[in-house]
Amino acid sequence: MHIAKILLGLFLMAAVMLSGGECFCEDIEDRDIRTMSGTIDAINTFDSMITVKWQDYDLIHFNKTTFKIPEGMKFYKETDIIDIFDLNINDPVNIEYYIDNTGRPIMVRMDVSQ
């Protein structure tokens, strides 16, 4: 009887540890990567954030999504690598991102079009 309780306790501890919070060791490849195309609507260099305006699925309305830019992230403009200070309002962008455990979009890559 005691062995069954111990095994049950160990099983529950393992289940809690495996299901708990975000693991930073997890590869981005294991995440559900999404894509978005739009234009830059706002740039906050102080907080390293950008807001992207994108066309809604009804093809009439627009939505906006704000992304926190990971520290040290570089962006791609054709063959050039640029940073946040090279971005401009209304630049067309393609973004790869995923949604974290809190529902916040996390940018993985951004390409800036001409």
Q: Is the pLDDT of residue 27 over 60?
A: no
pLDDT score, position 21? 39
pLDDT digits (tens, 9 = 90+) for 30-63: 678 999 999 999 999 999 999 999 998 887 889 9
> pTM for this structure?
0.68
pLDDT score, position 95? 95
Q: What percent of the chain has pLDDT over 90?
A: 45
Amino acid at site 47? D
State how far the Cα of 27 lies from the Cα of 30, in Å rounded to an integer.
Answer: 6
Q: What percent of the chain has pLDDT over 70?
A: 74
> 3-state DSSP call for residue 28?
helix
Average pLDDT, the chain: 79
Q: For 81, phi and psi rounded to 5 degrees?
A: -105, 125
Q: What is the mean pLDDT of residues 7-12?
A: 45
Report whether 24 contacts 16 (CB < 8 A): no
> 3-state DSSP call for residue 45?
coil
Q: What angle do CA 51, 113, 40 make, to 5 degrees?
A: 15
DSSP lists the bridge partners of residue 60 as none
